[in-house]
Amino acid sequence: MNKIVSILDSMEYGPAPEDDANVRAWLARHKGSFGHFIGGVFTRPGKGASLTAVNPANGEALAEVAEGGEKDVDAAVEAATKAFKSWSALSGTARARHLYALARQVQKHARFLAVLETLDNGKPIRETRDIDVPLVARHFYHHAGWAELRDQEFPGYAPVGVCGQIIPWNFPLLMLAWKVAPALAAGCTVVLKSAEHTPLSALAFAEICREAGLPAGVFNLVNGGGATGAALAAHDGLAKLAFTGSTEIGRVLRRQSAGTGKKLSLELGGKSPFIVFDNADIDAAIEGVVDAIWFNQGEVCCAGSRAIVQEGVAEKFHARLKARMETLRVGPPLDKSTDIGAVVAPVQIEQIRARVEAGVREGAALHQPSWAGETFARATEGGCFFPPSLFTGVSPASPLAQEEIFGPVLVSMTFRTPGEAIALANNSRYGLAASIWSQNLDTAFDAARRVKAGVVWINSTNMFDASVGFGGYKESGFGREGGREGMFEYLVAAWQKNARALPESPPLAAPVPVDDEAGPGSAPAGLDRTVKLYIGGKQARPDSGYSYPVLDGRGRLITEAGHGNRKDIRNAVEAARKAEGWTAMTGHARAQVLYFLAENLELRAGEFAERVARMTGISAKKAAAEVDTSVARLIHNAARADKYDGRVRAPQPRMLALALPEPYEVIGISCPDEAPLLAFVSLVAPAIAMGNRVVVTPSQHHPLAACDLYQVLDTSDVPGGVVNIVTGARDQLASVMAKHDDIAACWYVGSAEGSAMVEAESAGNLKATWVNNGKARDWFDASQGQGEEFLFHATRIKSIWTPFGV
Ligand code: NAI
Ligand code: MG
């Protein structure tokens, strides 16, 4: 410790360490050894595997913590399952009281928790005291409110069930709060696995649960590393898995949980842009950088780690930044005047070092403060310290600019035009956050609109609040934490809990070559020609040159439909990508198109009813009802088109946070066999109402009603490329869509196996998926066939923080 302090001698402040006596006393009370927290009691530590909680500032061992195995995970899931019955049956008010009690206990122990977190993680006490712990309390307060309001705000929804939650080490207690608070508010119970480098604050929280009288089994904690996490994630007693950590493990969990029916949310890595326009307040932006990349040693998933600076101000910006870096204080985390504490563990320091050295080898210019030389290295020996670092002259494609370093290292690039800034910002597989600096309203908001990221901070950075959704685009994951949107991650439409299984769909008959020279007259009586695909507003011949027979309700041939393949899906995606104009339209304009569609479908209701009846063999009356309901569904979604447009929150004085639902842009949709017209309309209408363009495979056995829509779409002013229809074998085509990198979300209604396949194959670009797990939905029932569930899956929330006053 003294060594580190000695480097501070040259600076103006003397040491001002926070007292850690109460934490030391707590560790001593537990004899430096902890078990798991299962069913309201701590298991006895001592036997079996354990891990050591270490203070990364000096390598000191703080405690031994039991490492959970399969048996511990089983016991914890069992306790949570038992507790779920009574916890989910409590009134909202009763659950709210428990959450208030947790919030109050966190506040009561705020100083203790801050010191404990700083000791175990290495982050400065200033941050744990002023940011982490107050936000933890805020989360429990805010979600006490959601517990109270659940039934009014989410009618028809039920808690999803027992939740497995896996958190990282960078904000141990805050990540716990982000996961536990909404789960408990929704009525779920929890098994949490803390991170191996930072197990202690979660153990303290377990004690707080006991102290606050939380019923046994509602919150369970298993300590351990990756193997423990894997055992938890694989447990079939979970209804939901929530994960924050690396994209690599997120992808593993996506594949593993595919087909299990578990709801999944992933909050993964980032390489977030920090865009400085030439009309920015440069001094404010410099302080912004300090918060963006040197907050929490840069071990922040949404760290502004890529500065993108307009050429005209780049020189000035870098000069001031370098001057500011001189004044940053790296040192003992418990010292109240420390800006940058210790990196969490030696393995993390090694990763940072390796990436920095590779950057230097690559030829980028590394700048570190003048004090960061030999003396610093000697003074910080024995602790995991790394100086603030800046790379300039970084090429946008280099690993430095593309890979998450997860340390106090900023890379900087320059741009000329706003268009270039956005192109650079979006040139990343990640899309977690973005920080935008400009004194010009138009410039700032235009960038906020165009940047692909779940959180955008205008003239600010790294702001968080329990009422504001947080989560990613692209490989930064899916799902939101915080806010109303975050509550959905722990809820499920109540009817889904008892949904019956869909009957199996028999495989398609063998394809035959398309004979489109034959013409209508050549077919046997009542037999149509081969039905084509519909791509970019035009009918298209299937690439394979093959079609498959479409039979009527009694198994007689009606016609042949195009046997779509990979190439057809690619063409359809290309057409959908190009139809950007649809997304740029107002909700009002889209609503008009949907009303027009409804009108034109109604005009031809008789013809469509006849088609549906013939294909499926249902009665004329039922078929007429299917067409009627389809018309009604279009009208419903037209009504929604200009009304699901977000919320405004005021999380801090003179700051607003806009919760904007943004379309995914291109969604792949696989329709079920049943209700061939109604299911198609029920899925496509909300997707396009929200501004998406879609690639759809209609009912594989009864595709004709959807194909008859080609003309209706043409006459209703639906622009080409907004709805693209590819007939063929549903699961084959769904697989192509799930793997396609230009599709941002996949909806699949079909078999359990197909659902599993779509989830597993979506892991490539971590697209959002919405699958039915082989369960049936009553498309005729408005509470199942339309509503917020559809709009929620058609959009993702972009949270835009903006100053609102000075
Ligand atoms: P990680 O993703 O391996 O660990 C996160 C959590 O997942 C920990 O609790 C860990 O025990 C658990 N875990 C590990 N393997 C698992 C598995 N197979 N199944 C279930 N759970 C598993 O991240 P790690 O190893 O701590 O850090 C590696 C790198 O990941 C960091 O250097 C950083 O770049 C990145 N990272 C990103 C975070 C973010 O919030 N975006 C958080 C932590 C790390
Ligand atoms: Mg530690």
Query: pLDDT (tens digit, 9 = 90+) per residue, 370-403?
Result: 999 998 999 899 999 999 999 999 999 999 999 9
Write the pLDDT tens digit of every residue in 45-76. 977 899 999 999 999 999 999 999 999 999 99
- Closest C-alpha to 470, from 753, 797, 162: 797
Ligand 1 atom having least distance to the Cα of 351: 32
Mean predicted lDDT score pLDDT of the chain? 95
CB 275, CB 435: distance < 8 Å: yes
Ligand 1 atom having least distance to the Cα of 195: 9
Residue 525, pLDDT > 70, answer: no
Mean pLDDT for the stretch of residues 660-681: 98
Write the pLDDT tens digit of every residue in 292-315. 999 999 999 999 999 999 999 999
- Closest C-alpha to 106, from 471, 467, 469, 466: 466
Instruction: Using the mean position of ligand 1's atoms as its centre, give its distance from the Cα of residue 229 in Å.
Output: 10
- The partner residues of 795 in beta bridges, in order of sequence, read 663
pTM of the model: 0.96
Active-site pick, 18, 67, 127, 267: 267
- Closest C-alpha to 17, from 423, 317, 286, 332: 332
Fold classification of 533-648+664-793 is: Aldehyde Dehydrogenase; Chain A, domain 1 (3.40.605)
Q: Phi and psi of 39, rounded to 5°?
A: 60, 35
| 806, burial (CB in 10 Å: exposed 0-12, middle 13-18, buried 19+) | exposed
Parse the chain into domains and list their residue ranges: 21-268, 272-475, 533-648+664-793
Ligand whose nearest atom lies closest to the CA of 55: 2
Write the pLDDT tens digit of every residue in 706-760. 999 999 999 999 999 999 999 999 999 999 999 999 999 999 999 999 999 999 9
Q: How many CA atoms, within 13 angstroms, populate the side-chain half-sphere of residue 739?
A: 10
Ligand 1 proximity of 478 Cβ (cutoff 6 Å): no
Ligand whose nearest atom lies closest to the CA of 384: 2
Ligand 1 proximity of 226 Cβ (cutoff 6 Å): yes
Mean pLDDT for the stretch of residues 261-265: 97
Q: Where are any strands of DSSP class E within 681-761?
A: 693-697, 723-725, 745-748
466/214 Cα distance (integer angstroms): 21
Ligand whose nearest atom lies closest to the CA of 170: 1
Which pairs with CB-CB distance under 8 Å and at least 24 residues apart come from 281-287?
Answer: 281/437, 281/439, 281/459, 282/313, 282/316, 282/317, 282/320, 283/320, 284/437, 284/459, 285/317, 285/437, 286/317, 286/320, 286/321, 286/324, 287/324
Identical fold, 21-268 and 533-648+664-793: yes
More confident: 527 or 272: 272
Ligand 1 proximity of 268 Cβ (cutoff 6 Å): yes
CATH (one of 1.10.1740.10, 1.20.58.100, 3.40.309.10, 2.60.120.330) for 272-475:
3.40.309.10
**CA distances (Å), origin 624, targets 204, 398, 551, 672, 763:** 62, 60, 20, 19, 41
Ligand 1 proximity of 403 Cβ (cutoff 6 Å): no
pLDDT of residue 14: 78
The SS3 call for residue 677 is coil
Ligand 1 proximity of 174 Cβ (cutoff 6 Å): no
Mean pLDDT for the stretch of residues 160-175: 98
- The partner residues of 455 in beta bridges, in order of sequence, read 433, 799
pLDDT of residue 752: 97
CATH code: domain 21-268 is: 3.40.605.10
Residue 166, pLDDT > 70, answer: yes
State the residue for tokens 């005009």.
603
pLDDT of residue 521: 42
Q: How confident is the model at residue 615 (pLDDT cuts 50, 70, 90)?
A: very high
Ligand 1 atom having least distance to the Cα of 166: 9
Residue 679, pLDDT > 60, answer: yes
